[in-house]
Chain A
Amino acid sequence: AQTVTQSQPEMSVQEAETVTLSCTYDTSESDYYLFWYKQPPSRQMILVIRQEAYKQQNATENRFSVNFQKAAKSFSLKISDSQLGDAAMYFCAYGSEYGNKLVFGAGTILRVKS
């Protein structure tokens, strides 16, 4: 069974600075998908970024980018130029190539200081 580990329960960053959230996972599959979701206090889970394991290029979405290290089974999220609106719980998730359930990490609370 796949597992996802987020080792940072909480992180803080100064507004306009950069922060990196860590995620590691365990799987025996060779093709899979990885996701970062953001959950603000409103509870709405919002997709931040998605990475296909067969792609070597790291995904980017504006201020958000990932460092995907397949051999190390690591998938970190970098947030550049942090904004107050980035404050939320961030979840790393694993999706099998067979397209069923996502396996989530425990989450990292990100606090942004002004």
Chain B
Amino acid sequence: GAGVSQSPSNKVTEKGKDVELRCDPISGHTALYWYRQSLGQGLEFLIYFQGNSAPDKSGLPSDRFSAERTGGSVSTLTIQRTQQEDSAVYLCASSLWLAGQETQYFGPGTRLLVL
């Protein structure tokens, strides 16, 4: 079946502009995660959605970052007033949530460049 998809693949924006990044999880997966990967670094957790529960926003670096998940499926990560330090690859993952830690399946990411 189809994997996790993300759009756009690449995004170039000017400092101060807002951007929206989209994630389509695997059908039937109830959990959705956003991570950020800065150049040459590991992945940094941003936010986690599980079913109808309140999202875990503990990884969001500032109030310029927000995310929503509509209808328990598609998610949008919004970065307002982008800064150059926001340049990174933004990865989305989804998983089932049956019990314990289910395997997370990742999308190809969106590479964001803020000029």
User: Which positions in A face B, CB cutoff 8 Å?
Assistant: 4, 31-33, 35, 37, 42-47, 50, 52, 91, 93, 95-107
A99 with B97, Cβ < 8 A, contacts A42-B108, A44-B106, A45-B106 known: yes
CB distance from B104 to the nearest CB of A (A): 6
Partner of B43, one of A31, A100, A104: A104
Task: Report whether B59 and A101 are in contact in the complex, using a CB–CB cutoff of 8 Å.
Answer: yes
Contacts of B43 in A (CB 8 A): 91, 93, 102, 104
Task: Report whether B101 and A32 are in contact in the complex, using a CB–CB cutoff of 8 Å.
Answer: yes
Task: Report whether A101 and B31 are in contact in the complex, using a CB–CB cutoff of 8 Å.
Answer: no
Task: Report whether A35 and B103 are in contact in the complex, using a CB–CB cutoff of 8 Å.
Answer: yes
Query: Interface range on chain B: under 10, 10 to 19, 20 to 34, or 35 or more?
Result: 20 to 34
In angstroms, Cα B33 to Cα A100, docked, is 8
Asked if B109 is an interface residue, CB under 8 A from chain A, the answer is yes
In angstroms, Cα B42 to Cα A100, docked, is 17
Tell me the B96-112 residues at the A interface (CB within 8 Å): 97, 99-109, 111
Task: Report whether B41 and A100 are in contact in the complex, using a CB–CB cutoff of 8 Å.
Answer: no
A43 with B48, Cβ < 8 A, contacts A35-B103, A99-B100, A106-B41 known: no
Task: Report whether A43 and B42 are in contact in the complex, using a CB–CB cutoff of 8 Å.
Answer: no
